[in-house]
Chain A
Amino acid sequence: MSFADYVASRWQELLVDAAQHASAVIQCTLIAAVLGVALGVAVHRSPAGSAVATALTSAVLTIPSFALLGLLIPVLGLGVAPTVTALVLYALLPIVRNTIVGLAGVDPAVLDAARGIGMSRAGVLTRVQLRLAWPAVLTGMRVSTQLLMGIAAIAAYVKGPGLGNVIFSGLSRVGSANAINLALAGTIGVVIVALVLDGAYVLLGRLTISRGVA
């Protein structure tokens, strides 16, 4: 069976896998964004805190994904829990670092003015600092999403959802009829989903970043 025939015959299943893949990556990026921005906000005023947060999240990134997922099995079992945990941990670094950089880049005069005209601390954070750091945070989320696309494929190893299952089942029966087709379809699927999401980020940036700072 040619690759095109294979894709045509398995179109439905591939689409479901791709959707699950994208959904897992998006949800994990969102969780990481909430945690990462909170962490960035908590540490950005202290140089030491920023250094520690960046170092810890970088350390996570150096752990091979296959190893991390494997190590999580005894703790969290198989399926959704280890997948989400690993993906969120990997997504943290770009978001935390960009949040810190974005917040540090806010002009002190703007903060002085914000406090001086009577904005509360919470108001300054939500209406000024985070709004101005948003382009950097969004870039961090975009990088994290790209990073997670590949790692999420490996999560099939712990029975996670997504296109990884297609790739793995192809690789596990090398030599049989559809082995190459399976692996290829999964891989190309990951690339296409990644490109679509990247496009979505560009659009999101256009819609949410103020024209005054874009």
Chain B
Amino acid sequence: MTGEGTVSGVEICLDQVTKRYPGSQVAAVDEFSMTIPAGQVVVFVGPSGCGKTTTMKMINRLIEPSSGRITIGGRDALSLNPDKLRRGIGYAIQQAGLFPHMTVGENIGLVPGLLGWQQQKVRARVEELLDLVGLDPAQFRNRFPRQLSGGQQQRVGVARALAADPPVLLMDEPFGAVDPITRGNLQDELLRLQSELRKTIVFVTHDFDEAVKLGDRIAVLGPRSSILQYDTPEAVLANPADDTVAGFVGAGASLKQLTLLRVKDVDLDEAVTAPTDEDPAALHVRLTMQNSKYALLLDARRRPVRWVHVRELVGGGALSTLGRPVEATVTQRSTLQDALEAILTEGGHVPVTGQHGEYLGVVRIDTVMDVIRTLREEHEHDHD
């Protein structure tokens, strides 16, 4: 991902890092060596039990390496006090792991508190972070985790990981426990955050599509955390290192390349739009003149709210009660795969929204089909 912000992350080097559990013949992680460039997202992807989480947890020493060297920004991680080391590394996990007895604000303010920040500074930071992850501070600061939805909990989890502005973030399947649509939104948010913050992020997942979407680089891991391929998503998709990686990439690689393309890479179409207070008869005339079946109703802030069919306009009744609600929208940063899924939910087209949820245009299924056709032609060309 090419970002606007300046790099605030630091480089992580793992050199022949090995984890051997007592009483076990084979190492859980065997001589793992990798350089993770500053300010990039590196995704460890692999089947469960391959040691990807173990490898990640050795970076913040939740699991102590048996041998090897780890440096973070040039500093030897193994010679630091583990608690102090972890306070300088953001950590976000599946199901968020929020402290249920603390409010959202207390959860986020915990690490700055451990670092001895002044109360007032902590409070200001909590506000800033809630804003950053898209939660209204006034509404959410004093809530308890159980009063939040799964997606909101994950946002708080990410905010907590970012609290002390660490250069490095470790994320262990942080979006694993939420529904696919929320998951897509959270991924989009993370990409937006990362384009501003440019942290060094190590992200663990078993979902290859997630790896392709989020990673600047992907490390496909095999048994004992052996690196099968470590490259950009484009390279892994186009040129898998071996059969195991190819198997993991799975069938339909050209379809998967949809996850490499963003909505902003294709041309948007215009829908017929109308404010919710427009006269239904006038809208009917406009739709007929433009030979369109559907109109998209926008609220006062130009956010898409409902789809209404031309037939529904003749029966009378205010526009605000007609049609059906818009169930899915995508942003410019969403992948074309997300868009395709949303299109299938919405029926033929999906509204694209900007930073504040305002309407920008629609993506039609024809547009996505054209992209697939082009990709497939290119892919066939590869094998000529």
Q: Are B99 and A115 in contact (CB under 8 A)?
A: no
Q: Are A118 and B111 in contact (CB under 8 A)?
A: yes
Interface-lining segment among B80-88, B117-125, B203-211, B338-346: B80-88
CB of A155, distance to nearest CB on chain B (Å): 37
Residue of A115, A120, A131, A212 with most chain B CB atoms under a 10 A cut-off: A212
CB of B131, distance to nearest CB on chain A (Å): 21
Q: Are B97 and A118 in contact (CB under 8 A)?
A: no
CB of A126, distance to nearest CB on chain B (Å): 12
In B244-284, which residues have CB < 8 Å from any A CB? none
Q: Are A212 and B146 in contact (CB under 8 A)?
A: yes
Residue ID in chain B nearest A116 by CB atoms = B91
Residue ID in chain B nearest A123 by CB atoms = B114
Interface: A185 (CB within 8 A): no
* Among A116, A120, A128, contact of B93 (Cβ-Cβ < 8 Å): A116
Interface-lining segment among A13-21, A55-63, A105-113: A105-113
A116-B62, A118-B114 known; A132-B160 Cβ under 8 A: no
CA distance in complex: A132, B100 (Å): 8
* Among A115, A117, A120, A210, contact of B102 (Cβ-Cβ < 8 Å): A210
CA distance in complex: A211, B144 (Å): 8
Interface: A174 (CB within 8 A): no
The 8 lowest CB-CB distance pairs between A and B, nearest first, are A113-B97, A212-B144, A118-B87, A118-B86, A116-B91, A210-B101, A109-B97, A212-B101
Q: Is the interface of B mostly helix, strand, loop or mixed?
A: mixed
Q: Which residues of A contact B96 (CB under 8 A)?
A: 109, 113
Interface: B98 (CB within 8 A): yes
* Among A113, A123, A211, A213, contact of B91 (Cβ-Cβ < 8 Å): A113
20 intermolecular pairs with C-beta atoms under 8 Å apart: A107-B100, A109-B93, A109-B94, A110-B98, A113-B97, A113-B99, A113-B157, A114-B97, A116-B60, A116-B93, A117-B114, A118-B84, A118-B87, A118-B114, A210-B100, A210-B101, A210-B144, A212-B102, A212-B103, A213-B144
Q: Are A114 and B99 in contact (CB under 8 A)?
A: yes
CB of A103, distance to nearest CB on chain B (Å): 14
CA distance in complex: A161, B366 (Å): 89
CA distance in complex: A114, B99 (Å): 8
Residue ID in chain B nearest A120 by CB atoms = B83
Interface: B95 (CB within 8 A): yes
Interface: A119 (CB within 8 A): yes
CA distance in complex: A210, B146 (Å): 12
CA distance in complex: A86, B100 (Å): 37
Q: Are A110 and B99 in contact (CB under 8 A)?
A: yes
Interface size class of B (residues with CB under 8 A): 20 to 34
* Among A115, A131, A210, A213, contact of B62 (Cβ-Cβ < 8 Å): A115
A interface residue numbers (CB < 8 A to B): 107, 109-110, 112-120, 123, 128, 131-132, 210-213
CA distance in complex: A118, B111 (Å): 7
Interface: B287 (CB within 8 A): no
B interface residue numbers (CB < 8 A to A): 60, 62, 83-89, 91, 93-103, 110-111, 114, 144-146, 157, 160-161, 170
CB of A124, distance to nearest CB on chain B (Å): 10
Q: Are A128 and B86 in contact (CB under 8 A)?
A: no
Residue ID in chain A nearest B104 by CB atoms = A212
Q: Which residues of A contact B87 (CB under 8 A)?
A: 117-118
A112-B97, A212-B101, A212-B102 known; A117-B86 Cβ under 8 A: yes
CA distance in complex: A118, B62 (Å): 10
CA distance in complex: A41, B264 (Å): 56
CA distance in complex: A206, B86 (Å): 35
CB of A84, distance to nearest CB on chain B (Å): 33
CA distance in complex: A110, B102 (Å): 12
Q: Which residues of A contact B145 (CB under 8 A)?
A: 212
Residue ID in chain A nearest B143 by CB atoms = A212
Residue of B83, B97, B161 with most chain A CB atoms under a 10 A cut-off: B97
Q: Are A117 and B144 in contact (CB under 8 A)?
A: no
Residue ID in chain A nearest B94 by CB atoms = A109
CB of A106, distance to nearest CB on chain B (Å): 9
CB of A120, distance to nearest CB on chain B (Å): 5
CB of A117, distance to nearest CB on chain B (Å): 5
Q: Which residues of A contact B91 (CB under 8 A)?
A: 113, 116-117
